[in-house]
């Protein structure tokens, strides 16, 4: 592959243009509940925790249940209180483990078991993940790292602010929410954002569950579930389900924030576009990472196009013409181009009427050009170049042949070419207009 260079000025202009265009985009297309449940089927887990608590632990319950959800190939999120503080649990004593390893690991007498929908392919390694707690245990969120896990589908985190009175959606379960089999029956519960009440709930955000109530009416077993915005991204994690006086269900949740335990790991991760989940094509919504990623993609999507036309000795164009582009993208990113064309010149109509000094678009007979454009893909030897002989041959064999007929006359002054590039992800870029003179006087 050839090494390609783009001038500093070209890059500077592109960057300035992209920064000007890179204001936060409008909300993504809304997702329906069926789509949300399709992600939950693979990326929503039941969590069971059991072990030996210290005598002075705040909670006397050595067995806890809740939920967790995937935010990366091997990263899950749950509520911190499902796991408890390391200070809550007795240290695990195993004489078979060398002392130096015990000092390093500081193992707890605690077992964490994860289960997902039984209809999904079974996966190993869902026991005792590495716990990534938040710096402060007043933040009810924690990450679970399973190094050998490689999920293809997972949820997308969002740093977008929660909109008061806005509609949101919690993935929860029907049936016995404390059972591992509950994830076989996920439901989408519609919520209304109420707001913060620091004097009552500290840093938790209050949501109100709207009718009908589809989730299991149990205070336990739901904590750690994701709350989604309309576009399917996660804005908060369920911390508590509370039944108010009057029968209304209140959902208290921990909003996703930059100090959230797994966020730094996700922010620092380079996106592998070949394996990223279809629903998680941005690392973090409303984050600096998202903005940088968007700018990078926009700059890479801009290409500087050129046109090469070889000439015969008399200055007429040779059959093959070449479109090529320069881009700062590391890899060739143009999949194909659609080429529209116009022959412009002087057309002397039948009957001897001559349009003097008036260049017009010369019509192409319908039988010679049934389509107004054609599609080109990169050449075999250069993936930044596109070649065609159709245009020159059409001009020579059809247009000029028509001029040579008795009663006609004229000439082609230049050819105008409008190209529409398409990226490999099928996105269409802005059109580019190029042109070349039909005949050039030999030097």
CATH of residue 347's domain is: 2.60.40
In a domain, 174, yes or no: yes
Residues 265 and 174 in one domain: yes
Residue pair 240/219 in contact by the 8 Å Cβ criterion = yes
Contacts (Cβ under 8 Å, ≥6 apart) of 194 = 164, 205, 206, 207, 208
The pLDDT of residue 93: 85
Confidence (pLDDT) at 407: 65
Q: Is residue 12 part of a domain?
A: no
Average pLDDT value over all residues in the chain: 81
Mean pLDDT to the nearest integer, 149-153? 90
**Shared domain check, 319 and 214:** no
User: Is 394 inside a domain boundary?
Assistant: yes
Q: Which pLDDT score is estimated for 363?
A: 82
Total structural domains within the chain? 2
Longest dimension (CA), the chain: 109
Q: Is 70 exposed, middle or buried (0-12, 13-18, 19+ CB in 10 A)?
A: buried
Report pLDDT for 116: 93
254 with 327, same domain?
A: no
Question: Is this prediction's pTM over 0.85?
Answer: no
Residues making up the chain, counted from first to last: 443
Average pLDDT over residues 336-343: 93
CATH classification of the domain holding 178: 2.40.10.120
166 domain-assigned: yes
Place of tokens 């050819």: 415
| Residues in CB range of 79: below 8 A, 6 or more apart | 66, 140, 141, 142, 223, 224, 237, 238, 239, 254
Determine the average pLDDT of the residues in 303-323: 92
Average pLDDT (110-138) is 84
Cα–Cα distance between 277 and 186 in angstroms, integer?
20
Looking at the predicted structure, is the pLDDT value of residue 14 above 50?
Answer: no
Same structural domain for residues 79 and 186? yes
Closest alpha carbon to 113 in 174, 156, 67: 67
Report the range of poorest mean pLDDT among 220-224, 255-259, 340-344.
255-259
Q: What is the pLDDT of residue 100?
A: 87
Domain for residue 227, yes or no? Answer: yes
**Residues 292 and 344 occupy one common structural domain:** no
For residues 168 and 218, membership in a common domain is answered with: yes
**Last residue of a domain, which of 277, 300, 323?**
300
At 261, is the pLDDT very low, low, confident or very high (cuts 50, 70, 90)? very low
Query: How far is Cα of residue 266 from the mean position of the Cα atoms in its chain?
Result: 14
Q: Residues 324-337: what's their mean pLDDT?
A: 82
Domain match, 199 and 68 both: yes
Verify that 292 and 307 share a domain, yes or no.
no
Q: Are residues 294 and 338 in the same domain?
A: no
Q: Which residue has the higher pLDDT, 377 or 270?
A: 377
What pLDDT was estimated at residue 41? 94
Is the model's pLDDT at 5 over the cut of 50?
A: no
- 38: pLDDT confidence band, cut at 50, 70 and 90? very high
Q: Residue 105: pLDDT above 60?
A: yes
Domain boundary among the residues 273, 300, 327 is at: 300
- Residue 258 pLDDT > 50: no
Q: What does the pLDDT read at residue 44?
A: 97
Q: Alpha-carbon distance 277 to 266, whole Å?
A: 14
pLDDT, position 355: 54
Domain contains 11: no
More confident of the two residues 196 and 4: 196
d(CA 38, CA 171): 11
Q: Is residue 8 part of a domain?
A: no
pLDDT confidence tier of residue 260, bands split at 50, 70 and 90: low
| 360 Rama sector, left if φ>0, alpha if ψ -120 to 50, beta otherwise | beta
Same domain, 79 and 103: yes
Q: Given a cut of 60, is residue 266 above it in pLDDT?
A: no
Average the pLDDT over each of 75-79, 208-212, 245-249, 418-422 and give the range with the smallest value: 245-249
Confidence class for position 203, pLDDT limits 50, 70, 90? confident
Whether residues 125 and 214 fall in one domain: yes
- Whether residue 351 is predicted with pLDDT greater than 80 in this model: the reply is no
- In this predicted model, which residue has the larger pLDDT, 269 or 405? 405
Can you give the pLDDT at residue 354?
A: 53
4 is a domain residue? no
Of 266, 300, 334, the residue that ends a domain is 300
pLDDT-based confidence at 292, cuts 50/70/90? low
Q: Are residues 391 and 412 in the same domain?
A: yes
- Give yes or no for residue 174 having a pLDDT over 70: yes
User: What pLDDT shows up at residue 166?
Assistant: 94
Q: Which segment, 39-43, 269-273, 283-287, 347-351, is predicted with the most confidence on average? A: 39-43
pLDDT recorded at residue 272: 44
Where in the sequence is the domain holding 168, given as residue range(s)? 24-300
Residue 87's pLDDT band (cuts 50, 70, 90): confident
3-state secondary structure of 321: strand
DSSP letters of 56-118?
A: T-S---SEEEEEEEESSSSEEEE-HHHH--GGGBPBP--TTS-HHHHHHH--BSEEEEEEE-T
Per-residue tokens: 98: 């060398």
Is it the case that residue 288 has pLDDT exceeding 70?
Answer: no
């Amino acid at each position: 592959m050839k090494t390609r260079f783009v001038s500093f000025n070209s890059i500077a202009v592109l960057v300035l243009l992209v920064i000007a265009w890179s204001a936060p985009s409008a909300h993504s297309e809304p997702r329906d509940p069926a789509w949300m449940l399709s992600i939950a089927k693979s990326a929503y887990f039941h969590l069971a925790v059991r072990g030996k608590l210290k005598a002075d632990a705040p909670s006397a319950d050595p067995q806890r249940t809740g939920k967790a959800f995937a935010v990366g190939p091997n990263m899950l999120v749950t509520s911190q209180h499902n796991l408890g503080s390391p200070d809550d649990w007795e240290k695990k004593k195993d004489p078979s483990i060398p002392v130096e390893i015990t000092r390093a690991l500081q193992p707890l007498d605690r077992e964490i078991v994860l289960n997902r929908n039984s209809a999904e392919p079974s996966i190993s390694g869902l026991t005792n993940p590495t716990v990534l707690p938040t710096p402060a245990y007043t933040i009810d969120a924690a990450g679970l790292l399973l190094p050998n896990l490689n999920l293809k589908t997972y949820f997308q985190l969002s740093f977008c602010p929660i909109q008061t009175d806005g509609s949101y959606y919690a993935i929860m379960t029907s049936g016995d929410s404390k059972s591992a089999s509950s994830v076989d029956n996920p439901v989408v519960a519609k919520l209304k954002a109420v707001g913060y009440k620091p004097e009552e709930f500290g840093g938790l955000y209050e949501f109100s569950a709207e009718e009908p109530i589809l989730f299991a009416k149990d205070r336990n077993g739901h904590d750690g579930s994701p709350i989604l915005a309309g576009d399917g991204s996660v804005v908060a994690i369920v911390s508590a389900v509370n039944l108010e006086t009057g029968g209304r269900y209140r959902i208290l949740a921990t909003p996703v924030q930059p100090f959230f335990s797994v966020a730094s790991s996700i922010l620092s991760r380079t996106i592998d576009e070949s394996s990223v989940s279809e629903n998680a094509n941005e690392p973090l919504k409303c984050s600096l990472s998202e903005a940088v990623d968007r700018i990078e993609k926009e700059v890479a999507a801009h290409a500087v196009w050129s046109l090469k036309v070889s000439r015969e000795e008399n200055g007429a164009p040779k059959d093959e013409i070449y479109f090529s582009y320069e881009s700062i993208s590391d890899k060739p990113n143009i999949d194909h181009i659609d080429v529209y064309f116009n022959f412009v010149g002087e057309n002397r109509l039948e009957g001897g009427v001559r349009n003097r000094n008036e260049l017009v678009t010369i019509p192409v007979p319908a039988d010679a050009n049934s389509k107004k454009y054609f599609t080109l893909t990169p050449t075999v030897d250069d993936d930044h170049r596109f070649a065609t002989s159709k245009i020159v041959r059409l001009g020579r064999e059809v247009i000029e042949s028509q001029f040579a007929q008795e009663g006609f006359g004229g000439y082609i002054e230049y050819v105008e070419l409008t190209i529409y590039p398409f990226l490999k992800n099928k996105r269409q870029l802005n059109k580019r207009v190029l042109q070349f003179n039909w005949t050039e006087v030999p030097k």
